[in-house]
Amino acid sequence: MQIVLDNFNLTAAERLLCETALHTAGSIVEAAKLLGITRHALKRRIIKHNIRWVRDAGARPGFGDTSPRQSASVAGVAAMTA
């Protein structure tokens, strides 16, 4: 996948990379792996850049809305990005 930058703004590039990784990977853990950073570092960047992202519940088999842990996780991400 090729990402084209409009300018040399490092903050904008970081935001674009985070958003692209999240949408490509489908989870914070997998997106962090794509970026070569920790999950915690990616969460800090989500907050820093005010990235609105909520994982699709049906994106991966075996992970549904009924899991209390996942629901809390999605709610936590939503609260961090609001």
pLDDT in tens, 50-74: 999 886 644 544 444 443 444 444 4
DSSP 59: S
Question: What is the C-alpha to C-alpha distance for residues 60 and 46, in angstroms, rounded to an integer?
Answer: 21
DSSP 27: S
Q: Under a CB-based contact definition with an 8 Å cutoff, are residues 16 and 45 in contact?
A: no
pLDDT single digits (tens) 3-29? 899 999 999 999 999 999 999 999 999
The pTM score is 0.65
- What tokens appear for 17 in the block? 């990379």
Question: What is the C-alpha to C-alpha distance for residues 31 and 12, in angstroms, rounded to an integer?
Answer: 17
